[in-house]
Amino acid sequence: MALTRAFRTTLLERAQRDADFRQAMLKEGIDAMLAGDMRAGKAILRDYINAVVGFGQLAEATHMPVKSLMRMFGPKGNPRADNLFQIIRHLQACEGIHLEVTTYQEGIQS
């Protein structure tokens, strides 16, 4: 289902003014990728990048061409792991957070 322009605009505006929302977007995009939903993860990260840093600034910071970055996060994009981790590292630094992966075993509660 495609997002309407009004919804996307609302999403981007909220991300620009609400740090908790931005951090949740970044976390959700990465969580989706870790869960195997690359399409959703890339779409969320693309919206996050557009709202927070922009592809131009991200290109300068990562030394990757803007068009390559935009393709990576497009529907058919397939970012290499080293590029993806470099981008995530930069986005975490911009947000001032550090995300960690923890293990979880079904049926076992700690």
Question: How does DSSP classify residue 1?
Answer: -
pLDDT of residue 67: 97
State the alpha helices, DSSP H only, in 18-102: 19-34, 38-52, 54-62, 66-72, 81-95
Q: How long a stretch of residues is the chain?
A: 110
pLDDT of residue 53: 94
pLDDT tens-place string over residues 44-99: 999 999 999 999 999 999 999 999 999 999 999 999 999 999 999 999 999 999 99
30 phi, psi to nearest 5 deg? -70, -40
Round to whole Å and give the CA distance between 28 and 45: 9
pLDDT of residue 94: 93
pLDDT tens-place string over residues 2-52: 667 788 888 888 988 999 999 999 999 999 999 999 999 999 999 999 999
